[in-house]
Structure 1
C-alpha cells in the first residue's frame, strides 16, 4: 500500500500547479484533541510568468484526524493580496484566466486555484482565488489588482 501512495502523492504534487507556495504563518482557530488543530494559514507564491509579483493567500485548513491524514475537505473561503515587489517583467505571453497557482483542498475532488487576468486598458494585473469541485464549485472568491508601475532604481 505504501508503495502505491508515494507515486500517487508525487503525481498529485506535479498536478498542483506551476507556482509553489511558501508558508508565511498560521493561527489555530479550533483546538482538536486528536490530530492538528483547525487553522488559517498564510502562504506566499510568486507569479511563475511575471517577475516582480508576489501573492499572499489566506485560507482555512481542516485539522483533526482526517486533516492530519490528508483526508479532510478544506473550506472554500480564501483571501488573496498580490503586490509588486520589484520591477514587473513578463517572462512569456499572458493568457486571460490563466491558472498561476493550484492546491488540492480535499483528497481528490476539490481544489483552490488562483487565476490571472491582464486589464490592458488600465495596465493592471488582476488575480482571483476561488475553489472548485468536480461536481459543484463555490461562488466564493476574492480578487486583488496590481497596477503596473515603474519601479524606482536603487541609488548607488
Structure 2
C-alpha cells in the first residue's frame, strides 16, 4: 500500500504543511491512523485513495493549525530568512496574479476559497459556519476553482 500511495499522499502533506520534514511526519501519522482505523473504511462511501487523501489533508491542516505562531514578527522573520530574493519575487508575482484572478470571482466564492485554502478550514466547517448545505459549499468552491484555473492558465 505504501508504494502505491506514498508519493501522492506526501504531495498532499507537503502542500498543506509547507515543510518537508513536517510532511514526512504527517505522512507517517496518516499510515498509523490508516492501520488503526482500517475497520472504519467503507468502500461504498469513497475509494481507498480518496479516504487516505482526506486523512492526509486533514492531518496536515490540523498540524499546521497547532503550530500557528502567536507572534506576527516571528512569522515575518522566519519567512524573510527562508526565501531567496528570486524565489520571493517569483512568489510575489504568482501571488499578485492569484489575487487578480480571485477578484474576478463572486464575493462569496472569493471569501470561501480564501478561508478554505489559505486558512485551512474544511468544506464542512465552512458550510456549518455560514449555515449552508455542505453540497452547496462544495459546488460553489469547485466552480470558483475552475474559474481560477482558467484565469491562471492552468
TM-score higher than 0.5 here? no
**TM-score, with structure 1 as normaliser:** 0.26
Higher helix share: 2
Hey, which of these two has a bigger chunk of strand by percent?
1
